[in-house]
Amino acid sequence: MIDSFVIFTNQISRYIIPFLLVSIPFYGLFFKKIKVYELFVEGAKDGFTIAVRIIPYLVAILVAIGMFRASGALNILLIWLTPFLNFVGFPPENLPLALMRPLSGSGSLGLLTDLIDQHGQDSLISKIGATMYGSTETTFYVLAVYFGSVGIKKSRHALISGLLADLAGIIAAVFLCQILFGDSTISQGNHKKQMTYFQGLKK
Amino acid sequence: MLNYIWFGMIFISVIVGTITGNIDAVTQAAIDMSKTAVDIAISLIGIMALWLGIMKIAEQSGLIKIIAKGLRPITLKLFPEVPPDHPAIGSIILNMAANILGLGNAATPLGLKAMEELQELNENKEIATNAMCTFLAINTSSVQIILPATVVALMGATANQIFITTILATGFSTMVAIISVKFFEKMKRFSYPQKGKNHD
């Protein structure tokens, strides 16, 4: 039943954008008799200014993230954390993704692809990873873009709340997947393999 | 806080890069990423223009007001500072709808529009209001009921299995976002400064 439901929702999602593009002007033109073409152009003009306004904020955030990744600091953090993670039952293979997810969308998608490649679609690790990816967002990017577009410099509690939400999503992903799909094969005593996996991440 | 995190990342990168001998890669990453930032912004222009144009029609035809009215009970709870008939509410709702339906491309322009409208209600244009923080936190908690197309593509047939776990996990993270935002906004550390006090 779930199978057909997922296919169904994904089929629907294909038609949402075309539906919006046709129904909104249709409503305006035939029900309200407004000049839809002129209004569209008027609204579209703002696209340029907003996009250009976020550039400095994007540069600031993305440069810091890029440097952090390239320096190898992320890998060192992972190697340090592995024994602790084994202890609390968090699969260390999923840690790179968990750490990367708030920072970079393309980076975390790359890690997820790699994870599924290495462990297979049916593995618990891949399921946890995909759930993690789907239930969290690139918090730093969203913060930079959204606040940057209006020139907000003091973000107050937005960052900590966003990161807490990510953390909640990550923990929930691990917990739920272990309950629903878990067998005991989860990376216990698999230390050597993990280390080689982390070495391989060094890009 | 962002000041320290931002500087901390750059500082650690340079130190670690020097020790591990990756310093050239660090330099290269800094240059590459500044280019990437501009590429992202430029590629946003077209999509932004498309959705802001459609939004304008939706706004002028009164569609947004109709939707906003229907969801008033929820938005009043989440954004008590925003007048219920303010245009920002309409944009916030449409942004969330786009996120829920997995329309990432449509969500960003709508979200930026919502931010702009929330900024109109802001007294100090450099400091985020409670409503802005709430909106942002909900956004970053990734509310959605349709799996991202990328995940479906990567997971193949197994995507069906993670459908439930993703919805539950994202629901939990959204709940944490709302609770934590409502909790932190009352704390002195994060309070909206009344007379130009410096918080970060």
Contact residues on chain B for A155, CB-CB shorter than 8 A: 1-2, 128, 133, 136
pLDDT tier for residue A103 given thresholds of 50, 70 and 90:
confident
pLDDT tier for residue A187 given thresholds of 50, 70 and 90:
very low
Q: Extract the tokens encoding B157.
A: 């047939």
Regarding whether B42 and B70 lie in a shared domain, the answer is: no
pLDDT computed for residue B121 by the predictor? 93
Which residue, of B14, B30, B61, is where some domain finishes?
Answer: B61
Regarding whether B181 and B144 lie in a shared domain, the answer is: yes
Regarding whether A67 and A29 lie in a shared domain, the answer is: no
Size of interface A-B (CB pairs under 8 A): 376
Residue numbers of the domain that contains A94: 46-200
pLDDT tier for residue A9 given thresholds of 50, 70 and 90:
low
Regarding whether A26 and A109 lie in a shared domain, the answer is: no
pLDDT computed for residue B133 by the predictor? 95
Regarding whether A193 and A135 lie in a shared domain, the answer is: yes
Chain A, nearest residue to B41 by Cα: A51
What number is the average pLDDT over the span A147-158? 91
Residue numbers of the domain that contains B93: 63-200
CB contact under 8 A, A44 and B175: no
pLDDT computed for residue A183 by the predictor? 61
Regarding whether A1 and A92 lie in a shared domain, the answer is: no
CB contact under 8 A, B57 and A109: no
Regarding whether B191 and B167 lie in a shared domain, the answer is: yes
Which residue, of B61, B81, B102, is where some domain finishes?
Answer: B61
Regarding whether A145 and A73 lie in a shared domain, the answer is: yes
Regarding whether A120 and A73 lie in a shared domain, the answer is: yes
Query: In chain A, how many domains are there?
Result: 2
Regarding whether B156 and B106 lie in a shared domain, the answer is: yes
Regarding whether A93 and A61 lie in a shared domain, the answer is: yes
Regarding whether B118 and B92 lie in a shared domain, the answer is: yes
Contact residues on chain A for B164, CB-CB shorter than 8 A: 2, 180
Distances (CA, A) of B19 to A70, A81, A99: 13, 20, 22
pLDDT in tens, B157-176: 788 888 888 989 999 999 99
CB contact under 8 A, A64 and B10: yes
CB contact under 8 A, B169 and A145: no
Q: Which of A17, A48, A161 sits opposite B177 (nearest CB)?
A: A161
pLDDT at A15 over 70: yes
pLDDT computed for residue B200 by the predictor? 47
pLDDT in tens, A54-99: 888 889 888 998 898 899 988 888 888 888 888 888 898 898 899 8
Regarding whether B99 and B46 lie in a shared domain, the answer is: no
CB contact under 8 A, B127 and A156: yes
Query: In chain B, how many domains are there?
Result: 2
Regarding whether A100 and A33 lie in a shared domain, the answer is: no
Regarding whether A30 and A108 lie in a shared domain, the answer is: no
SS (H, E, C) chain B: CHHHHHHHHHHHHHHHHHHHCCHHHHHHHHHHHHHHHHHHHHHHHHHHHHHHHHHHHHHHCCHHHHHHHHCHHHHHHHCCCCCCCCHHHHHHHHHHHHHHCCCHHHHHHHHHHHHHHHHHCCCCCCECCHHHHHHHHHHHCCCCCCCCHHHHHHHHHHHHHHHHHHHHHHHHHHHHHHHHHHHHCCCHHHCCCCCCCCCC
Regarding whether B75 and B50 lie in a shared domain, the answer is: no
Regarding whether A30 and A52 lie in a shared domain, the answer is: no
Regarding whether B56 and B69 lie in a shared domain, the answer is: no
CA dihedral B54, B60, B61, B65 (to 10 degrees): 100
pLDDT in tens, A121-139: 889 999 999 999 988 888 9
What number is the average pLDDT over the span B62-84? 86
